[in-house]
A and B are shown apart, each in its own frame.
Chain A
Amino acid sequence: METPLALLPAVEQLALVSRRTVTCRELVAAALERQQRLNPLVRAVCAGGADTAFAAAERADARRAAGDPGPLLGLPVTVKDSLDVAGLAGVAGSPALVGRVSPEDAPAVRAALDAGAVVVGKTNVPEFCADMQTSNPVYGLTANPWDVERTPGGASGGSAAAVAAGFSALDIAPDLGGSNTLSAAFCGVFAHRPTHGLVSTLGLLDPLLGPSPVESAVATVGLLARDPRDLRLGLDVLLGSPAQDPAGWRVRLPDHAPTSLRGLRVAVWDEDDVLVWEPSARVVFDRMVQAMRDAGATLLRETRPAIKLSAWLRLAVLHCVTATPAVADGVHLHEEVAALMGIPRTDGASALTLREWQQLQRALVTQRQRWIEVFDEADVLVCPAVPCTAFPHEFSGSLMSRRYQVGADRWDAGQVGGWVAATSATGLPVTTAPIGLAADGLPVGAQIVAPPFHDRLAIAVAGLVSAEVGGYRPPEFRGAT
């Protein structure tokens, strides 16, 4: 059966436009048609408007007719609701912002629009983007298109669900502590978290303070897509909004991307004392590792960062919460972290002082170096994205006290999100790839981590892996009525 237009990878949709097989307007119409039909089942797109999208698509067609070579000309994209698109609602799931219309584009969005992208919707987030599920008092609950009784993940649940369901070809999404990775894994799509500092995070929406006028020390702006080629194309476009002042700073990524897994040195870190697998998800990961070996990759089973993962995860969480003025208070400082920071304080309950924050930065740099040393031996590091599949919606209690139903067990947030938190705090480029379905019929994802600025390497390896184990497949909307 022929793949519907709206489910084609972005690069193939764009190829159809450039061959003049379809118009920009037809591309956008196909995405909007799917949204109209299927979004009510998952509520991934929370705002937007057919009118503005069609008008933008027509402008894209005019640009194409005029010979404009914009690399995303006519491509339907969605934007996570924590990033502003001028003229569209920008609410970030916060009741305090209901009715707010974004006054201007965030620089990352601007870069995509300049390249010809057409925004076909904003995608839903949890309030304060501080959850691994996606629900808020303004737009309600977003469901997983594989099984609407289950979560699409968070905070990029709307983004991942929208891309999986074919509501857009590409989603632009800020990622603080692994939101994109986690959501992409649960929804069976690809995601890329750029090396920290490459893509501008200006305009990141804080519900209390508005769009950020400063670059984030933690967050990145990344992409979700159905094909790794789309990530590469999208990243090239987002690099048009570099995080350093364009008056003097230029960025050019190293461009060594392998075309085969043969001989590729892959560090495989698949388990740790503090992060265990749900067994049926592990089967999928093991199958991927075997497929990489069969394709000629050299697997390095003992090569991993020389860190204590439990302590690193605590640093990672601290790093994330200190990024946002809204949540920077009341940080718990565990003694394991205090030791890494070289400070005697273990009282824990009060907020980090400025001086302690600087010691945290120092500890992060030292520990990140342990991650980077992995690449003395390996080309890339592969690890789980989430060691289980999407769990049923669960909103009892608070994020930290809550327990999720995983198989027969109850997992806490740390067990679910540990791997994505661990890689996010490194600042390294991370590509997430869907690697198959577990016995429950739900997607499992893997993370490919590359050295700093070798974003294209991580994306290329994701492509090679998915060629072995099958990449994106359309979701089934199980449980939808």
Chain B
Amino acid sequence: MDDALLLRPALELAAAVRQRDVSARELLDAAIARVERIDPQLNAVCTRAFESARLEAEAADRRTVRGDELPEFHGLPITVKDAIETAGIRSTGGAEELAGHVPSADAPAVAALRAAGAIVFAKTNVPAWSGDIQTFNSLFGTTRNPWDPERVPGGSSGGAAVAVACGLTAFELGTDIGGSVRVPSAFCGVFGHKPSYGLVPTLGYLDSAHGGSITEADVNVFGPIARSAADLAALLDVLAGPDPARAAAWRVELPRTPRPEGVRGLRVAAWLDDPALPVDPELVAVHAAAADALEAAGAVVDRTARPGFDLDRTWRLGSSLIGIATSVSESEASIARMRALLDDPATDPGTRFALGRLFRPHRDWLAADRARAEVRAVWARFFEDWDVLLCPVSIATAFPHQQEGGFGDRRTIVGGVERPYLELIAWASLIGSAYLPATSVPVGATAAGLPVGVQVVAPFLHDHRAIEVAGLLASLTRGYVVPPVAR
């Protein structure tokens, strides 16, 4: 087979397997060959499970031959972000504490993908505990952007986005608490969907030395990354549903808003830049062109519509909620160290503030949760007037690797201006902390050739609307383009 087939959307690959144009084993071998050929330059794949996958692929082919009823993604080889537990395959969360962790069970979301026919043959790299928007760790090293290896692929689902962009996998399962699906999707030029909070079970998430999570972290979601919006929609249907403990009573029926007329009449709010969170002007221009394309195709685009809250305060509220939710990742030893730092009068105020989140009382979260409820109510009213919101995924495109320092003290240069590193995920945090569904869609490139993505945000649980509009946008703009390294 022509291994360029692996650059096609997953639904096309699935059709090829179903029609017996290609076998699962052939597809897997081609994917493995691509990993061997392309990945050494990028380091997206951190753990290989080729042998077990070959057996699974052969079993899948026997089912095809028998004429069994075949699931939607039957026989497709996939990689899974290493922050998610996969049965029998080392799952580290990018952290030394879990360097030898081989889960006995799949995370429920992985189990759903396997039930839908996918075959997990590798894991993809993440920063430790998924705590960065670059992708490097002490276990597996640095993952590189396929459009420029000197730049980051984004994170924390960086390996995942690279694997999708380069056709190493049919699709990916990532996680997103502060943009971890959306940012790397944008930086690598692929499609990523951050589902409405609670829609996809997130048990089996590796964010602490305890191993797979048994409680759902606030804001965190699992979401698909793919080469087409249609893939995202089909994957969301596979992934959405209650966790096993709640399946006895709960089920989900996502609203669908079919738009047979396509873009015509679609009410689009375009919030592409803001003084409180300025975006690289080059990105703003690409985003604006995307909004113009929607308008030219018949959408009603308003470039001044805003939800009406204080953006600076609101994204910082979101950032604070995310900081709280990720505080479980610290070990007891590092907690003790940080407590000592906090108690040391010589510690600078910035560090003190960054550490404070670990020691704030739970009561503060209850207050922040109520404040979030108000923000969610504002969004709900906003979406009475607008079908979707277009807004930046990040203030920048893929930036050069920057491995010194930490999230709290790094700076980044955006459009020639130095900015706090945290602002790179401010737009993503704003949307995620409000539990809204958002699809990151590739709509263009910078002059230097780096992909540019935009977020399509929809009302809570209207995930399919976000994905559908992302598909329309992609068809009107650049969409997914194969990086030269993967051709």
Verify A365–B362 contact, CB threshold 8 A. no
**B363: which A residues are within 8 A, CB to CB?**
325, 328-329, 351
The answer, yes or no, to whether A253 is at the interface (CB within 8 Å) is: yes
Q: In the bound complex, how far is the Cα of B462 from the Cα of A353, in angstroms?
A: 34
Chain B, Cβ-Cβ closest to A358:
B328
**B459: which A residues are within 8 A, CB to CB?**
247
The answer, yes or no, to whether A409 is at the interface (CB within 8 Å) is: no
The answer, yes or no, to whether A446 is at the interface (CB within 8 Å) is: no
A384 nearest CB across to chain B (Å): 27
The answer, yes or no, to whether B358 is at the interface (CB within 8 Å) is: yes
Contact A252 to B251, CB < 8 A, known contacts A214-B369, A245-B460, A354-B365: yes
**Interface locus among B29-37, B370-378, B393-401, B421-429:** B370-378
Verify A247–B369 contact, CB threshold 8 A. no
The answer, yes or no, to whether B340 is at the interface (CB within 8 Å) is: no
Verify B358–A353 contact, CB threshold 8 A. yes
Verify B335–A355 contact, CB threshold 8 A. yes
The answer, yes or no, to whether A195 is at the interface (CB within 8 Å) is: yes
Verify A355–B249 contact, CB threshold 8 A. no
Q: In the bound complex, how far is the Cα of B203 from the Cα of A366, in angstroms?
A: 13
The answer, yes or no, to whether B327 is at the interface (CB within 8 Å) is: yes
**A357: which B residues are within 8 A, CB to CB?**
362, 365
Chain A, Cβ-Cβ closest to B368:
A354
Q: Which of A331-383 contact B (CB under 8 A)?
A: 342-344, 350-359, 361-362, 365-366
**B214: which A residues are within 8 A, CB to CB?**
362, 365-366
| Contact among B245, B327, B372, B462 with A355 in the assembled complex (CB-CB below 8 Å) | B327
Contact A354 to B327, CB < 8 A, known contacts A213-B374, A214-B369: yes
Could you mark each residue 327-354 of chain B with 1 if its beta carbon is under 8 Å from any beta carbon of chain A, else 0? 1101010010000000000000000000
Q: In the bound complex, how far is the Cα of B217 from the Cα of A329, in angstroms?
A: 22
Could you mark each residue 245-264 of chain B with 1 if its beta carbon is under 8 Å from any beta carbon of chain A, else 0? 11011111111000000000
| Contact among A247, A251, A344, A365 with B461 in the assembled complex (CB-CB below 8 Å) | A247
Verify B210–A250 contact, CB threshold 8 A. no
Verify A355–B250 contact, CB threshold 8 A. no
Contact A249 to B250, CB < 8 A, known contacts A351-B363, A353-B358: yes
Q: In the bound complex, how far is the Cα of B365 from the Cα of A453, in angstroms?
A: 28
The answer, yes or no, to whether B359 is at the interface (CB within 8 Å) is: yes
Verify A213–B253 contact, CB threshold 8 A. no
Q: For the side of the interface on B, what is the size category?
A: 35 or more
**B332: which A residues are within 8 A, CB to CB?**
343-344
Verify B377–A354 contact, CB threshold 8 A. no
Verify A353–B359 contact, CB threshold 8 A. yes
Could you mark each residue 183-227 of chain A with 1 if its beta carbon is under 8 Å from any beta carbon of chain B, else 0? 000000000000101100000000001001110000000000000
The answer, yes or no, to whether A441 is at the interface (CB within 8 Å) is: no
Verify A355–B358 contact, CB threshold 8 A. yes
The answer, yes or no, to whether B198 is at the interface (CB within 8 Å) is: yes
Q: Which of A244-278 contact B (CB under 8 A)?
A: 244-245, 247-254
The answer, yes or no, to whether A452 is at the interface (CB within 8 Å) is: yes
The answer, yes or no, to whether A322 is at the interface (CB within 8 Å) is: yes
Verify B328–A355 contact, CB threshold 8 A. yes
Q: In the bound complex, how far is the Cα of B436 from the Cα of A247, in angstroms?
A: 13
| Contact among B246, B328, B460 with A359 in the assembled complex (CB-CB below 8 Å) | B328
Chain B, Cβ-Cβ closest to A369:
B214
Verify B362–A250 contact, CB threshold 8 A. no
Q: In the bound complex, how far is the Cα of B248 from the Cα of A251, in angstroms?
A: 9
**A350: which B residues are within 8 A, CB to CB?**
361
**B101: which A residues are within 8 A, CB to CB?**
none
Chain B, Cβ-Cβ closest to A323:
B366
Q: In the bound complex, how far is the Cα of B248 from the Cα of A454, in angstroms?
A: 9
The answer, yes or no, to whether B316 is at the interface (CB within 8 Å) is: no
Verify A247–B250 contact, CB threshold 8 A. no
**B372: which A residues are within 8 A, CB to CB?**
214
B261 nearest CB across to chain A (Å): 23
Contact A244 to B198, CB < 8 A, known contacts A198-B249, A366-B214, A452-B245: yes
The answer, yes or no, to whether B66 is at the interface (CB within 8 Å) is: no
**B328: which A residues are within 8 A, CB to CB?**
355, 358-359
The answer, yes or no, to whether B126 is at the interface (CB within 8 Å) is: no
Verify A361–B215 contact, CB threshold 8 A. yes
Verify A354–B362 contact, CB threshold 8 A. yes
Q: Which of B210-258 contact A (CB under 8 A)?
A: 210, 214-215, 217, 245-246, 248-255
Verify B460–A322 contact, CB threshold 8 A. no
Q: In the bound complex, how far is the Cα of B370 from the Cα of A328, in angstroms?
A: 15
**A253: which B residues are within 8 A, CB to CB?**
249
B224 nearest CB across to chain A (Å): 17
Verify A358–B327 contact, CB threshold 8 A. yes
Chain A, Cβ-Cβ closest to B254:
A248
Verify A213–B377 contact, CB threshold 8 A. yes
Verify B361–A329 contact, CB threshold 8 A. yes
| Contact among B330, B362, B462 with A328 in the assembled complex (CB-CB below 8 Å) | B362
Contact A328 to B252, CB < 8 A, known contacts A353-B359, A353-B360, A362-B210: no
Q: In the bound complex, how far is the Cα of B338 from the Cα of A64, in angstroms?
A: 66
The answer, yes or no, to whether B357 is at the interface (CB within 8 Å) is: yes
A373 nearest CB across to chain B (Å): 13
Verify B327–A209 contact, CB threshold 8 A. no
| Contact among B215, B359, B461 with A248 in the assembled complex (CB-CB below 8 Å) | B461
Verify A322–B362 contact, CB threshold 8 A. yes
Q: In the bound complex, how far is the Cα of B283 from the Cα of A293, in angstroms?
A: 74
**B361: which A residues are within 8 A, CB to CB?**
328-329, 350-354
B287 nearest CB across to chain A (Å): 28
Verify B358–A250 contact, CB threshold 8 A. no
The answer, yes or no, to whether B188 is at the interface (CB within 8 Å) is: no
Chain A, Cβ-Cβ closest to B463:
A248
Contact A249 to B210, CB < 8 A, known contacts A325-B366, A328-B366, A353-B358: no
| Contact among A249, A254, A351, A454 with B362 in the assembled complex (CB-CB below 8 Å) | A351
The answer, yes or no, to whether B156 is at the interface (CB within 8 Å) is: no
The answer, yes or no, to whether B196 is at the interface (CB within 8 Å) is: yes
A309 nearest CB across to chain B (Å): 22
Verify B255–A247 contact, CB threshold 8 A. yes
Q: In the bound complex, how far is the Cα of B360 from the Cα of A350, in angstroms?
A: 11
The answer, yes or no, to whether B324 is at the interface (CB within 8 Å) is: yes
Could you mark each residue 443-468 of chain A with 1 if its beta carbon is under 8 Å from any beta carbon of chain B, else 0? 00000000011100000000000000
Verify B251–A250 contact, CB threshold 8 A. yes
**B370: which A residues are within 8 A, CB to CB?**
209, 212-214, 325
The answer, yes or no, to whether B312 is at the interface (CB within 8 Å) is: no
Chain A, Cβ-Cβ closest to B242:
A249
The answer, yes or no, to whether B409 is at the interface (CB within 8 Å) is: no
Verify A254–B249 contact, CB threshold 8 A. yes
**A352: which B residues are within 8 A, CB to CB?**
361-362
Q: Which of B215, B330, B461 has the most CB of A within 10 A?
A: B215
The answer, yes or no, to whether B448 is at the interface (CB within 8 Å) is: no
**B246: which A residues are within 8 A, CB to CB?**
197, 452-453
B290 nearest CB across to chain A (Å): 27
Verify A453–B366 contact, CB threshold 8 A. no
Chain A, Cβ-Cβ closest to B216:
A361
The answer, yes or no, to whether B97 is at the interface (CB within 8 Å) is: no
The answer, yes or no, to whether B367 is at the interface (CB within 8 Å) is: yes
Verify B252–A214 contact, CB threshold 8 A. no
The answer, yes or no, to whether B96 is at the interface (CB within 8 Å) is: no
Verify A250–B250 contact, CB threshold 8 A. yes
Verify B357–A354 contact, CB threshold 8 A. yes
**A198: which B residues are within 8 A, CB to CB?**
249
Could you mark each residue 107-137 of chain A with 1 if its beta carbon is under 8 Å from any beta carbon of chain B, else 0? 0000000000000000000000000000000
Q: In the bound complex, how far is the Cα of B251 from the Cα of A195, in angstroms?
A: 16
Q: 11 A-B residue contacts at CB 8 Å?
A: A247-B255, A249-B251, A250-B252, A252-B249, A254-B248, A254-B249, A354-B362, A354-B364, A357-B362, A452-B245, A454-B248
Q: Which 8 A-B pairs have the closest CB atoms?
A: A213-B373, A357-B362, A248-B461, A453-B249, A351-B361, A328-B363, A325-B366, A247-B461
